[in-house]
């Protein structure tokens, strides 16, 4: 669990760094636009486009990894719950009945 928190922190730091680079590039582009220097403007636009494409690709890759990790974690949790219910059927029935009773009482109060 601690490893996942460290991974999440590292990913958040990397995302912040990517966004900082992107904002710096956009700021440089805006400053160059005010100078109206066509050669410098062209170079900054290319750099901004390149960084934007790189950032977008990294964000898409991270999104896919996060989706896969979440899917894997949920699959493991479902397997664990299934195994518990199969090993302890009467306990599971009791938990389900108690949950239904509490929910029924709460909804009936309205």
- Helix axis angle, 2-35 relative to 38-87, nearest 10°? 160
The pLDDT assigned to 80 comes to: 93
Tokens (6 digits) for 5: 């928190």
The pLDDT assigned to 83 comes to: 93
Q: Provide the residue-wise pLDDT of the chain in tens; the chain has 110 residues.
A: 456 656 767 777 777 777 777 777 777 766 666 656 677 767 777 787 788 778 778 878 887 888 888 889 999 999 999 999 899 999 989 999 999 999 999 999 87
The pLDDT assigned to 77 comes to: 93
Sign of CA dihedral 37, 39, 40, 42: positive
The pLDDT assigned to 34 comes to: 60
The pLDDT assigned to 23 comes to: 72
Asked if 22 and 52 touch (Cβ cutoff 8 Å), the reply is yes
> How far apart are alpha carbons 90 and 34 in whole angstroms?
74
Instruction: Using alpha carbons, select from 11, 83, 64 the residue that is nearest to residue 3.
Output: 11
> How far apart are alpha carbons 96 and 81 in whole angstroms?
13
Domain ranges in the chain are: 1-75, 76-109
- Residue 88: phi, psi to the nearest 5? -130, 70
As a residue count, the chain comes to: 110
């Amino acid at each position: 669990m601690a490893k996942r928190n460290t991974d999440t922190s590292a990913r958040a730091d990397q995302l912040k760094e990517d966004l900082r680079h992107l904002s710096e590039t956009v700021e440089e582009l805006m400053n160059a636009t005010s100078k109206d220097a066509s050669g410098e403007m062209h170079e900054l636009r290319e750099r901004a486009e390149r960084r934007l494409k790189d950032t977008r690709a990294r964000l898409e890759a991270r999104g896919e990894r996060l989706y896969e990790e979440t899917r894997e974690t949920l699959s493991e949790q479902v397997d664990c719950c299934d195994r518990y219910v199969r090993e302890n059927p009467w306990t599971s029935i009791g938990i389900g009945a108690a949950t239904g009773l509490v929910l029924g009482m709460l909804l009936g109060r309205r």
